Amino acid sequence: MVVLIAKGVSYLHSSLLAILHHLFEPEDRHNYDSSLYAAVGSGLTSLIVLCDQLSLNRARSYPHRSGSDADCVVCLDRLGEGDHVRRLACSHVFHRGCLDGWLDHLNFSCPLCRAPLVSDERVAQTRRRVTGDLLAWFPDA
């Protein structure tokens, strides 16, 4: 359910931005109070980062092959032959559904080693972009 909402928000965000940018460009996008940036953009930023991460993880999903004795640390079950799994950049492997559930709770780190799945710089960049766009739409907010 969260994934569908996040994808819907991402789609609406992209569509509205395209229309908005086609109609006009705000005069000064960078003169906003930093506390307003944080307040307005953080929620949407999390949803957009979640959508991006789920899309990226979908590409990294594959059927598990037997031969490795591995357990999913989220559900503690053994990874079985043909189970759909996802491998993170840190090389840890999880059931697809388990990792997606982990991400649905806006946990952007590996469940095992806590390595960040998304860099702080990328989150900050997305937050600035989203907040700037929102404030351009609602300049009197």
> In CATH, which superfamily holds the domain spanning 44-140?
Zinc/RING finger domain, C3HC4 (zinc finger) (3.30.40.10)
Euclidean distance between CA atoms 129 and 29, whole angstroms = 10
pLDDT at 108: 79
Helix or strand (DSSP H, E) at 128: helix 120-137
Rounded mean pLDDT for each run of 10 residues along the chain, 141 residues in total: 68 62 49 49 64 62 68 88 85 88 83 84 77 70 48
CB 22 within 8 A of CB 139: no
pLDDT at 113: 94
Q: In the chain, count of helices (H) and strands (E)? A: 4, 3
CB 47 within 8 A of CB 9: yes
Question: Could you tell me the end-to-end alpha-carbon distance of the chain, in angstroms, rounded to an integer?
Answer: 30
Domain ranges (residues) in the chain: 44-140
Q: E strands along the chain, which residues?
A: 61-63, 84-87, 93-95
pLDDT at 24: 47
CA max distance for the chain: 60
